[in-house]
A and B are shown apart, each in its own frame.
Chain A
Amino acid sequence: MKQTIRVTVNGRVYQEDVEPRILLAHFLRENIGLTGTHIGCVVGECGACSVLLDSKVVKSCLHFAVQADGREITTIEGLAKDGELNPVQEAFVKNYAFQCGYCTPGMVMTSYALLQTNPNPTEAEIRKALAGNLCMCTGYVQIVDAVKEAAKQQSTAKV
């Protein structure tokens, strides 16, 4: 039986009728039409589906859409403003912190959330924070470098 839920996604409110069994990841991709959130394992191990739920990074494949009723979600599509990449996104592009791009939205969301709470992380802290986002292509070197650069950019921007 379907339930009506109201969810705010990237600042816009959506009202949808969904079956309780619909995963949040599928809801975002299919009901809302935002396909930037990817599904790699559907059991919460790879992090490709990472989004912000009330400002906390969560794995949207481990959530039912009905659990998000009344809450705020930010997906990868919500980061850039009018086509202007935010510092994390720009650092990823400059540093080639991706190859196939499938893990990239999740990586960017997690990196973004990390820098909100820890603006000056060490390499070890970056690697630990990204431990829940698997990448099969890059070997992580350029991703870590991108996060470091984004941290630097953000701190110089503040000054």
Chain B
Amino acid sequence: MADKKYIGARSRSKEGPRHVTGRGLYTDDFTLPGILQAMILRSPHAHAKINSVDPSEALKNPDVMAVVTPEDVKRQTKPFKPGRYAAGLKRPIDEYAGAIEKVRYVGEPLGAVAARSRGAAEDALELIQVDYEPLRPVVDVREAIKPSSATLFDELGTNLAWQGSLQYGDIAAAFKSADRVVKENLKIHRYSSTPLEPFVVIASYDAASKRLTVWVTAQVPEVIYDGVREALGLEDVRVIIPDVGGGFGQKIHLIRKYVVLVSLLAMKTGRPVKWIEDRSEHMMAGGHACAQEFEAEAAVKNDGTVLGLRFNEYDDVGGSISTLTIHFTNKLNNLSNTYRTPAIHMIGNAVVTNKCPVIPNRGIGKPGMCYIWERMMDRVAQELNLTPIEVRRKNLIQPNEMPYRTISGNVYDSGDYPGLLSTLLEKIDYDKLREEQKKAREQGRLMGIGIVIGVEPGGRNAARDMAIFPEMKEPPGSGGVNGATIKLEKNGTLSLHLGSPNCGQAHETTTAQVAAEVLGTTPDQISTSIPFDSDLSPWGVAAANSGNNFHLYDIGAIHGAATKLREKVLRLAAHVLSTDPKELTIENGVVQVPGSAMKKITFAELGRIAYNNQHLIPEGMEAGLQATHYYTFPHAKPNIVPGADRLVRAQFTFSAGAHAAIVEVDKTTGMVEVKRYMIVGDNGTVINPDVVNGQVYGSAAHGIAVALGEGFIYSSEGQPLTITYLDYGKCSAAETPRVEVVHRPSPSPFTSVGQKAAGEGAAIPSPAAIASAVEDALQPFGVKVRELPLSPEAVWRLANDNPETERRSF
């Protein structure tokens, strides 16, 4: 496409008008006749045996229509199959929708109530008698793997639920020929993007047809679909996903438990049932990003070249085995970051503890990987007496090496990493900042500058997780497939039907721009159907609003469908106008031979023919003007499915960003102020700049807030202490710095319009940027930043050298 009209241009938001007038339709906005309200029975203990559950008192109230107990769950449902998030689990361990014999985290669901009103459901919950036998809670990862600790899963016999490793390149040779080995121990804590809309499920069961319909706040319809089929044995399932108030990976996995429990209530009562969780329920049990500890070593030459990287990782996965290895395997997506290091050895340990299970929160494991790289690069610079910029430059993959095959099998499609770094340093006037810093230090002010760089992978490959278990019996699919349908209506407008749900990433606006560009019409003539409906939406395994899938699969599908439709439009028009399709152009919904006043026809006229006027449709041409396209990435091979060599295309496209964080630290209180934060980003061809900027601003703001103190804290008894937004430490507009974004795209040669990802983006390098800046600020005191979060107390301790008297659990 030579001169683009809509791609890359500002375009009025299609989602905006309904959101600013309160006309968004979220799951809780729906109701059905006779609907009941549900509440979930949850464990108050971090670790306990369930001896008995007696609902009889609760059932005495005639407004209470049904109670589901662990016995019901065991008798009436089957456990979920271990999926790709637990690829490493070689022996299956049954995990049901609710706890059966044991509870393993505070807030774990074990039953549910449906009643005619919310109040009655609340009252009923209080009356259910549960006899628990509390067990010793296991909260600390290092303690958990000691034989003296209580075991969460008797079938495993240990809390070290999985251990494994992956190696690429000759790591032994790398360490042998190194001039020096740089070591560091690093730690990232538990946090989450805490979407503002909590989980909501509506279930309605038609017993005569054996058909279940579910409205749910979910990001991945396949998880719901498969979860319901596995647990309830139902084949006729319809999943509807309306507007979702934020996902960030929170609404992918654990939500399936609640769909099953609420569906059981619907089946028991014969009525539709709605469940909405409380904020505190979500904070306790909705799912957390994994706390990870790393023992990292880099083999380096004195000139700063990194010959090899090795790290031993401990993942605190919480009280479930269902997401055991996802934070480890996801590191394959950005394993090399932006560097050409020829050997990497990664060792993983997944430890179960009595805390909320971990889920694939924004970035999943990739922020950890980037943290390892960028902290190590700073450390290498310090130990070799080089600057952090020199060390990075020494190791960056060069633009003339693109497309670049990494040692683990990824193919980086495009990118100019040295260019991103140079542009960043120029835009922030790096040399001037260093001078400012010198003056500030003389005045006793602790100013710090952190510079980091990170790739942002996009477009998932469902088979990636098999790299740790290629012999997996039930492969999770491979590559990615997703579809889109585009229809030219009788009145000449167009309607799009996308294959994926969304949680606010402007899918409607963006796809309309692409479709308008391809078809030669205007975005305001195009509407997109919401909600996602599994009966109607053309969806496949990549219908996942996560993992940066939209830019590749949905855009690819719309582009493909629009291209097909354009061809049909031209064919029909050519026939009606008695000309050759090659002679025709389309502009603003009018098809014509350029310069001819007679040979032109509008979309509306074509529509009326295609649906109404068989006489004018050419022989052999299908009537109607609709096209569906299922997209797969055409450059996905080789290594879609990992073999014995464990090489795998973990993801398919690679955006990147160079970040600069400028901070000032108050030593006496530990407060860190972010004075400036800039990102020079490459997201490939930007279809809608406002949308992409929004994704970068939002993901950066969250990464910064994570680094500076938001996070989950547990007591030594496994009680969650941070179950409100303020206790957890969420930042408002008053505390969030204004992030600056500069675009420096290297379009992908492999995608439909050169677009790359922009959803997880800045969440990946930003924690490392803040860590780097704070360490730089405290450099006069010889401080090393290893652990996040850098809360005021943590910074105060680092700056004033106070070791903690009592270790707290994260």
Binding site for B on A (CB under 8 A): 19, 21, 26, 29, 34-43, 45-46, 48, 75-77, 79-80, 85, 89, 92-96, 98-105, 108, 123, 126-128, 130-144
Q: Is the CB of B103 closer than 8 A to any CB of chain A?
A: no
Contacts A93-B17, A102-B196, A127-B734 hold; do A137 and B698 have CB atoms under 8 A apart? yes
Q: Cβ of B196: which chain A residues have Cβ within 8 Å of it?
A: 38, 40, 46, 48, 100, 102-103, 134-136
| A136 adjacent to B694 (CB under 8 Å) | no
| A100 adjacent to B736 (CB under 8 Å) | no
Residue of A nearest to B283 (CB): A41
Q: Cβ of B605: which chain A residues have Cβ within 8 Å of it?
A: none
A38 to B693, CA, bound (A): 26
**Binary interface profile of B, 194-235, with partner A (CB < 8 Å = 1, else 0)?**
111110000000000000000000000000000000000000
B36 to chain A, nearest CB (A): 14
**Binary interface profile of B, 257-285, with partner A (CB < 8 Å = 1, else 0)?**
00000000000000000001011000000
A128 to chain B, nearest CB (A): 5
Q: Cβ of A46: which chain B residues have Cβ within 8 Å of it?
A: 196, 279, 725
A38 to B198, CA, bound (A): 11
Q: Cβ of A19: which chain B residues have Cβ within 8 Å of it?
A: 119
Q: Cβ of B739: which chain A residues have Cβ within 8 Å of it?
A: 139, 141
B464 to chain A, nearest CB (A): 27
A139 to B704, CA, bound (A): 10
Q: Cβ of B248: which chain A residues have Cβ within 8 Å of it?
A: 136
Q: Cβ of A127: which chain B residues have Cβ within 8 Å of it?
A: 732-734, 736
**Binary interface profile of B, 704-745, with partner A (CB < 8 Å = 1, else 0)?**
000000000000000000001110001011101011000000
Q: Cβ of B736: which chain A residues have Cβ within 8 Å of it?
A: 127, 139-140
Q: Cβ of B701: which chain A residues have Cβ within 8 Å of it?
A: 138-140
A140 to B697, CA, bound (A): 8
Highest count of chain A CB atoms <10 Å: which of B196, B247, B699:
B196
B200 to chain A, nearest CB (A): 10
Contacts A96-B13, A99-B504, A99-B506 hold; do A45 and B733 have CB atoms under 8 A apart? no
| B733 adjacent to A131 (CB under 8 Å) | yes
Residue of B nearest to A142 (CB): B694
A38 to B13, CA, bound (A): 21
Q: Cβ of B247: which chain A residues have Cβ within 8 Å of it?
A: 100
Contacts A100-B245, A138-B697 hold; do A77 and B194 have CB atoms under 8 A apart? no
Residue of B nearest to A105 (CB): B22
Q: A93-B20, A100-B245 are in contact. List 15 more A-B contacts (CB 8 A).
A: A40-B245, A41-B279, A42-B279, A85-B17, A98-B19, A100-B246, A101-B245, A102-B246, A105-B20, A133-B733, A134-B732, A136-B698, A138-B701, A139-B699, A144-B738
A45 to B735, CA, bound (A): 15
| A38 adjacent to B26 (CB under 8 Å) | yes
Q: Is the CB of B44 closer than 8 A to any CB of chain A?
A: no
Of B13, B22, B197, B243, the residue contacting A34 (CB under 8 A) is B22
The 5 closest A-B pairs by CB, nearest first: A36-B22, A100-B504, A102-B245, A101-B19, A139-B701
B28 to chain A, nearest CB (A): 8
A38 to B22, CA, bound (A): 9
A46 to B731, CA, bound (A): 10
Residue of B nearest to A101 (CB): B19
| A101 adjacent to B278 (CB under 8 Å) | no
A14 to chain B, nearest CB (A): 17
| A98 adjacent to B504 (CB under 8 Å) | yes
Q: Cβ of B16: which chain A residues have Cβ within 8 Å of it?
A: 92-93, 96, 98
| A45 adjacent to B726 (CB under 8 Å) | yes
Contacts A45-B724, A101-B243, A139-B697 hold; do A36 and B21 have CB atoms under 8 A apart? yes
Provide the main secondary structure of the chain A interface.
Answer: loop
| B22 adjacent to A35 (CB under 8 Å) | yes
| B20 adjacent to A45 (CB under 8 Å) | no
Contacts A35-B29, A96-B13, A104-B20 hold; do A40 and B698 have CB atoms under 8 A apart? no
Q: Is the CB of B691 closer than 8 A to any CB of chain A?
A: yes
| B243 adjacent to A100 (CB under 8 Å) | yes
Q: Is the CB of B700 closer than 8 A to any CB of chain A?
A: yes
| A101 adjacent to B732 (CB under 8 Å) | no
A84 to chain B, nearest CB (A): 10
Of A42, A76, A133, A138, the residue contacting B694 (CB under 8 A) is A138
Q: Is the CB of B244 closer than 8 A to any CB of chain A?
A: yes
| B22 adjacent to A76 (CB under 8 Å) | yes
| B197 adjacent to A38 (CB under 8 Å) | yes
| A40 adjacent to B22 (CB under 8 Å) | no
Q: Cβ of B432: which chain A residues have Cβ within 8 Å of it?
A: none
Q: Is the CB of B582 closer than 8 A to any CB of chain A?
A: no
A126 to B738, CA, bound (A): 13
| B730 adjacent to A134 (CB under 8 Å) | yes
Of A43, A80, A137, the residue contacting B279 (CB under 8 A) is A43
A57 to chain B, nearest CB (A): 15
Q: Is the CB of B18 closer than 8 A to any CB of chain A?
A: yes
B739 to chain A, nearest CB (A): 6
Of A37, A96, A128, the residue contacting B22 (CB under 8 A) is A37
Of B20, B690, B693, B725, the residue contacting A89 (CB under 8 A) is B20
Of B503, B694, B726, B730, the residue contacting A96 (CB under 8 A) is B694
Q: Cβ of B244: which chain A residues have Cβ within 8 Å of it?
A: 100
**Binary interface profile of B, 388-403, with partner A (CB < 8 Å = 1, else 0)?**
0000000000000000
| A77 adjacent to B725 (CB under 8 Å) | no
| 8 A/B residue pairs, CB under 8 Å, sorted by A | A36-B21, A76-B22, A79-B21, A96-B694, A98-B20, A99-B695, A100-B246, A144-B738
A140 to B695, CA, bound (A): 11
A40 to B279, CA, bound (A): 7
Of B195, B278, B698, the residue contacting A138 (CB under 8 A) is B698
